[in-house]
Each structure stands twice: as C-alpha cells, then as structure tokens.
Chain A
C-alpha cells in the first residue's frame, strides 16, 4: 500500500492513515504503544486533521517520549505525509557520528618482569602474595589455589531507602504510634515513638566483559560474580527480600548468566555459565552489547535505581560514540555506575583507550580489579554505593 499523499482523503481514511503512521513509527524503532496511538488520534481530533503542522506537533507530543525519538519521528513523518509543504518540521541538527578507531595495543608491557621466583618468600606468606598478584599473569596452578581464596570474600548488598518507615530509637517522631499510645491512655502523654526510613537492598547488576582482551581475568571475574550472587541468595534465606543480583556477560553478544551463577558450587557455576556464553574470547563491541542490555533489560527496570558494575578494560572495536551514548543512558538509569578495569592498578596506566575515554564521563567510580585484594576493595565500593 502507498502512503496517502494528502491528509484529507475519503470518508473512513483518516483513522487508517494516522494509525498507519503510528505503526510506521513503531517500525522505525519508536516505542509506540496502543494507548499512545489512541492519544494521537484524540489529539489530532482536537487540532483538526487539515492542519498538517498541528498534526505534526500533536503526534510529536503523544507518540514520542525522549529526545532520541524526535529525529526518527521527523523522518517518518516526512515520508508518510509527503507533500510539497514541508514547513513546520524542524529536524534537530545532526552531527555526524565521529568515526574513531580503537587505538592499537600500546600498554601490553605493564608487568611481566619482577616475577616471584624466590621460594622462601613465596612460602612465607603465599596467600598474602597471591592476594595481591595480578590474576592475568598467574599460572593455571596459581589460579586453582586462588580459587579457594574466593570463599573469603563476603559481598554486602548496597541499600536504598524504602518508602516504609520502621520503628527506631531516634529519628523523627512517629506521630501515629505516639498518638495511639496516648489515646490508649485516654489522652495522657505517653512515651514518644520514633521512626526512620527503612532500608532495602538495592538491585545489583554485574556486566562482565568476556571478550579476548579480558580472557585472563574472565574466570576470576565470574568467580567474583558468583560470590555476589550466592551471598545475596543466602541473605534472602534469612527472611526479608533477597537482594537481586543479576549477572550478564558482554563482549560480542549479551548473555544472561544469572541462572548459572545461582549454582552453589563455584566450579559448576562457571562451567554452566561457559555453556551459555557463546562468545568467549571474541572481539569486543561494548557499545552494541550495552545497547542491547539497556533496550532489553535495563530500561524496563533492571538498571533503574540499581548499582551497575561493568567489568571491562574498555577495548572497543565498534563505534565509541555508541558506547558513550549507551553509558550516558545507563548512568541516567542507574543509581551508581562502577567501572572495574583490571589495568587500572598497574604502573603507568592511563585511561587512553577510546572506549574508556568515552565511558569515563558517565562512570561514578573507576576502580582496579586485577587481584583478590582489589576485589575486596570493590566489594566495599559496591556496599557503600
């Protein structure tokens, strides 16, 4: 079918024309729901269909819901109601997306020398050394020993203020409770009751980059994620709402591994996660996977008011403009965004990778994550978020 050239057509056409337009808009990626389309019809009925500019503004007010929608709306409107008169449209100034290439590796040399070959020292405080060693430089045997140490980590959930209040020994006066106590004594002043805002655990979302450049750390990071998930589950068993911890792997594809992470045993959880993740050690398209996360999960509520932790070194093969935009979205949804970069703690590290530079503006905490000791610090950052 072809879009009608004029706004006024035969009898039953207007509704079809307008609903067709809202469908076209939905196809273009604007989130047009049924009730929005209905509002659109009602709004056009108010301003009159013959006034094309008013129709334009009526649609923009009812069908769009964010500045991102406006460009798309302009394009679809122009295509759908194509007439000679195109005034009234004011397309937002479009800046060309900056085409940037990820800088080539230049910081590979950090570490490598100064290895711990001294058997005496290693024996003296093997665990303490292991705690501070860069996981990326460990041998498989050391990693196996380190895995046992993960049990020592005790993640705490970040909290938020709840709407309810609970009785407390100080704070604000609980007028209702005080009043009830007084009424029970025929209006005689009773002891004052106090209350404060209750606290609820915040949702925590962990996004773990498992692409090629992160592969030395992927195993350890998933173990850390497992600790977060398992300890939150245990807290739930004590009564009260379990703090929800969600784990996703990012990289070339977005995979939700929360279910696998629920397995009690860490090794089995990692294996189960490995089976669900199709892109171990692939190339990195951070911006793209973040966008998918936000579209599919984040915006619908998972990231809202949550503490979001991104584990990545910020190597971006794709468009960094996209990553920047997605980080902005994430930041505006989440309560706090923590970026964990395994290279931060190393000597001479500068956040120069295009991806990191793009993302840093929208990150609340930028912390290290290359050893067990730094993981413990991260746990504190998350708990206090």
Chain B
C-alpha cells in the first residue's frame, strides 16, 4: 500500500507536519497498521484525539478521508450503497416517453446501472482506494452492524447482487474509534490492531495547544493545560475535559485578550471546558484553590 513511510519516526514527522503530535507508541502502532494492512481500533476517553488521528493520517499520506459516523440502528444501506430510487423512476419514465419498446427484463437491467448507485462511505473508500476510512464511534452501532463490518474488513470487497463484486485495488487504511460505551465484539477486535489512547501528558498537551492554536501565548497555554490536567485527575467530574476542550478554552481566553489565567476570566469562560451543570459548580468551587496554589 503506502510504501513511502519507512519508519515510525518518519511517520511521526509527517503527522507533526500536519499538526498532529503522535507519541512513540501511537506512531509505532499506526506504522504497523500501515505495513500489515490491518484496521486500527482506537479506544479511549472522549476527546483524546482518536478522530483527529484519522484526519492526521489522511493528511500525512495525502489520501482522501472517508468518514462513516456510526449510530444506533445504522445498517448496510447507510454504510455501503443504496439505489437512487427517484432517479430510477425518472429513468423508467424517460424510457416510456422516448417510446422505446423495451421488455421488462431489459428495463430492469438498465435500472441497476452504476449511475443509479449511491455509494455510501464504505463502498466509496473501497472504490477510491487508496483512502483512509474512518469508522467513528463503532460502539454506538449494533452487533449486527459489527458483524457486517467485519465481513467487509476481512476481504476488502463488497458484492452488489445486481452489479457484481467491487473490491479495493489497494486496501484502504481503516481506523475504527470507540468510546467504550459498549464492548466491541471480540471477533472484530481480533481483526484489528488495538490501541488505548490516553490523555496526553503536560508537555505534550502544551505542545498540542501551541501547534493547533499558535495565537495562544506559551504562558497562557501552559496555565490552561496545567489547570485542565488537574481537573482531569483531581476532581471527579462527570465528563472530564478532553484535548478538544483544552483547545477551545485556550482559544476562548485568547479571544478575550487574556494574557494570564485568573479566577474571574476562568469562571466566565468555564463553558468551554465543562459541559455539565454539576461539573461547573464543582469546578467553580475548586478554581480559587487551584489557581492560587
């Protein structure tokens, strides 16, 4: 598939050039996934950059990103392909208006033509390969959908009864993400390389903020990250803030012209970091203590 990546270090550099800072472990595992042509299953808390990684890979390898967002009740017609029913009807009408005397067989076969096919993400990724296929939040989909996905991921081909089999010339790079609200089935896990994405450490997160939001000053970035990291570990919040929240907060503070983080501005912009009323109350109470020490 992609032969231009020669080592994990090379990959780290390329990802960094797109603005995604991967640590050694992540780079090694992505490198392995590329080399072994295996899907990558990323699990971790929301906001640890799982989706961003897929975007980063696509940008780093200069491949199109095809995204499939999972939800409860998703099925093959939303993931694979569907027939464009209105256009098929119109086509039939046009045939009729044109006065062509056609038999039913022929009309039917002309209906199931490539041009009436609506390619959904998985089919699109197979047809446009090489591409990066992001299957986002697989834990939200049903068991049946997992089984179906497993089938596609093990052969990288899709058969459409009316058209035949469509298979990828080069298998797409597949990234699955899960927030672990539900256990992903073992069979699917076995097929994938597994990685548990953790929140980045202090230095790395500061680096991330500096790369993603260069307008934020070093000092402010450091203060924000320190505070967010403390919120993650010390306070038992309903929804601990992720990296995305850190970025939002840093940007919000920068917009307000803050050079320094103080209790008043922190409290005013809290909505960027915590999204629950209970959390907000808890953090407000703790802010004083945290910003002074």
Contact = CB atoms under 8 A, between A and B. Distances in A.
A and B physically associate: yes
Contacts of B31: 46-47
A366 interface: no
A39 B73 contact: no
A60 B142 CA distance: 27
A290 interface: no
A65 B32 contact: no
Contacts of B193: 39, 43, 61-62
Q: Which of B33, B36, B93: most chain A CB closer than 10 A?
A: B36
B190 A36 contact: yes
Contact of B194 (A35, A46, A65): A65
Given A47-B8, A57-B24, A305-B143, A182 B92 contact: yes
A43 B36 contact: yes
B38 A39 contact: yes
Nearest to B191: A35
B107 A33 contact: no
A187 B96 contact: yes
Given A61-B195, A183-B104, A42 B186 contact: no
A89 to B, nearest CB: 10
Interface string B31-46: 1110110100001000
B127 interface: no
Interface string A191-222: 00000010000000000000000000000000
Contacts, number: 95
A31 B187 CA distance: 12
B244 interface: no
Nearest to B29: A61
A348 B193 CA distance: 52
Contacts of B36: 39, 42-43, 46
A54 B8 contact: yes
A332 B181 contact: yes
B42 to A, nearest CB: 10
B196 A67 contact: yes
Contacts of A61: 28-29, 32-33, 193-195
Interface residues of B, number: 40
Contacts of A329: 183
Interface in B1-23: 8
B183 A332 contact: yes
Looking at chain B's contact residues, the main secondary structure is: helix
B111 interface: yes
Contacts of A64: 194, 196
Contacts of A42: 36
Interface in B168-210: 180-183, 185-186, 189-190, 193-196
A147 interface: no
A173 interface: yes
B35 A65 contact: no
B257 to A, nearest CB: 37
Contact of A54 (B28, B38, B186): B28
A338 interface: no
Contact of B32 (A53, A58, A66, A304): A58
A57 B189 contact: no
Given A161-B73, A179-B111, A187-B107, A47 B32 contact: yes
Contacts of B186: 31, 65, 299
Contacts of B245: none
A352 B104 CA distance: 72
Contacts of A114: none
A154 B207 CA distance: 62
B111 to A, nearest CB: 7
Nearest to B28: A57
Interface of A: 31, 33, 35-36, 39, 42-43, 46-47, 53-54, 57-58, 60-62, 64-67, 70, 88, 161, 163, 173, 175, 179, 182-184, 186-187, 197, 299, 304-305, 329, 332-333
14 contacts: A33-B190, A43-B193, A46-B32, A54-B28, A57-B24, A60-B25, A60-B194, A61-B28, A64-B194, A65-B189, A187-B95, A197-B73, A305-B143, A333-B182
The 9 A-B residue pairs whose C-beta atoms are closest, nearest first, are A57-B28, A61-B193, A65-B189, A61-B29, A175-B85, A46-B35, A187-B92, A57-B25, A163-B144
